[in-house]
Amino acid sequence: MSPSSPSESVLPQTPVRRVVIAGGGTAGWMAAAAICKLLGRTLEVTLVESEDIGTIGVGEATIPTMLTFHRLLGIDEQAFMAASQATIKLGISFEGWRDPDHRYLHSFGITGKDHWSAGFQHFWMRGRERGLAEDYPAYCIELQAALRHRFAHLSDYRMNYAYHLDAGRYARFLRGISETHGCRRIEGRIAEVITDPDSGLIRALQLADGSTIEGDLFVDCTGFRALLIGQTLGVGFEDWSHWLLNDSAIATQTAAVRPPAPYTRAIAEPWGWQWRIALQHRMGNGIVYASRHVDDDTARARLLSSIEGERLREPLQLRFRPGRRLRSWHGNCIAIGLSASFIEPLESTTIHLIQRGIVRLLQAFPQVLAAPAIAEYNARMDEELQHVRDFVILHYHATERRDSAYWRYVAEMPLPDTLQHRIDLFRDTGTVYHVPGELFAENSWIQVMLGQGIVPRHRHPVPDLMGDEELRGFLAAVRADVERTVDALPAHHDYLQRYCPAAPA
């Protein structure tokens, strides 16, 4: 079958009643839990996975959109956090990205207070000009709480947060929810994907034991293999490695040696970066790198020489290609997770993109398959991927580092027009914008652009209407509110021990 979009005449007009999910892991069980929770009474949902096929399982950092997903599924936060050894994540500490000795934190919070005509950054810039303002991070509750390792749920929902979690335990937790709502799990290796000779649509999965699982709609959660969408249906892949150089990673786990920090650490290297993700009982460690700039042995040695604590597993080697499937939904197959796209884990967007693919599927779930709905799904997912791609590229391109061929390349490479426009707009005017539906809000772009060294040349004139005393009072009031709120928070570790203590691993 040609990978062009199926026409109305090709798509069957029979009701969608049987959903088959190929693959487990985080993507498969997130899809199963969501579909069964919302539509389980009207559908037959089957998930096929093989314990002989390992899952990536190192996507342990999330972003705040996961809270929305959990609310949709009615998940109890304390139970989930205890089951997955989860900790709180308030942001990401970027160490060595602007230059080897510089550190900044991209938090999930809102900085200051905006005016309808101009964002807080313009008032802050005016304050800096007049010697009235502290550093930009001083005006964000989540950022200051992260630096001081503090957290609590506030009654007014003022704290934006996400999680660090054990991906394998999270998948098992979701499996329990899925099976409670009617999902049937079949253990087995997929030997063949059977397609209809006339339409080319998927008809069934044949397992190694000879059994077949028929379906009306198939969800491809087979990871980088993309067994259904890629290998069987032939949907192509757009490579983004000319912007995102990293194509390899090595991951390992170590015993915890100190209380968990409520943020992810992203530590830049001459040819990539390292992550540190603290759970309740262990630390997730890894190194992401470009194989054209460093060999595996050097990267592995660098990782192992810098980690702390007893190593709990042998290093796992990963290969990947950054980019996207040309269509996430083709015919009666929807790719979710790594089979649909991969943008490296720098901003912890992998699980978010799984979630977005699932939510959009549920919002567009067909009584019968329809080409316009499929096209709309693909368009919206493409927009989301472009936005995330641009935000991740920003971290590499906006840098003062020139100490290796890797950093010189990313600093000088041509950018997507969409990203170049955002950078030019901020550099010239101090302004950012948010398109409805985009993941990263204005403050995320501001924090990263300032953190990476992009300094606006101009700003909005409205702060000039305030005299020095009024501006000083405004900035001081924001700062005092941040300090008062953070001072009242308990230590992150202490709060976890009271709220969601996990059983020993």
Active-site positions read 89
DSSP 440-482: S-HHHHHHHHHHTT---S---SGGGGS-HHHHHHHHHHHHHHH
**Which candidate, 459, 460, 447, 348, places its Cα nearest to that of 398?**
447
SS3 319: strand
Cα distances (Å, whole numbers) of residue 284 to 201, 274, 287, 321: 40, 10, 11, 22
Q: Which long-range contacts (CB under 8 A, 24 or more apart) does 480-486 make?
A: 481/141, 482/138, 482/139, 482/140, 482/141, 482/144, 483/144, 485/141, 485/145, 485/154, 485/158, 486/141, 486/144, 486/145, 486/148, 486/150
3-state secondary structure 2-51: CCCCCCCCCCCCCCCCEEEEECCHHHHHHHHHHHHHHHCCCCEEEEEECC
Q: Return the exposure string of 50-88: e unless at least 16 CB atoms fall within 10 Å of the residue's CB, then b.
A: eeeeebbbbbbbbbbbbbebbebbebeeeebbbbbbbbb
Instruction: Say if CB 332 and CB 216 are below 8 A apart.
Output: yes
3-state secondary structure 237-294: EEECCCCCCCCEEEEEEEECCCCCCCCEEEEEECCEEEEEEECCCEEEEEEEECCCCC
Instruction: Say if CB 373 and CB 366 are below 8 A apart.
Output: yes
Q: At what angle do helices 120-129 and 468-487 cross, to 10 degrees?
A: 120
What does the angle CA 439 – CA 377 – CA 91 come to, to the nearest 5 degrees?
Answer: 15
Measured distance CA(285)–CA(279) in Å, rounded: 11
Cross-strand bridge partners of residue 494? none
Instruction: Say if CB 39 and CB 325 are below 8 A apart.
Output: no
DSSP 378-447: HHHHHHHHHHHHHHHHHHHHS----SSHHHHHHHHS---HHHHHHHHHHHHHS-----TT-SS-HHHHHH
Measured distance CA(81)–CA(262) in Å, rounded: 14
What is the dihedral angle through the alpha carbons of 135, 138, 143, 147, rounded to the nearest 10 degrees?
90
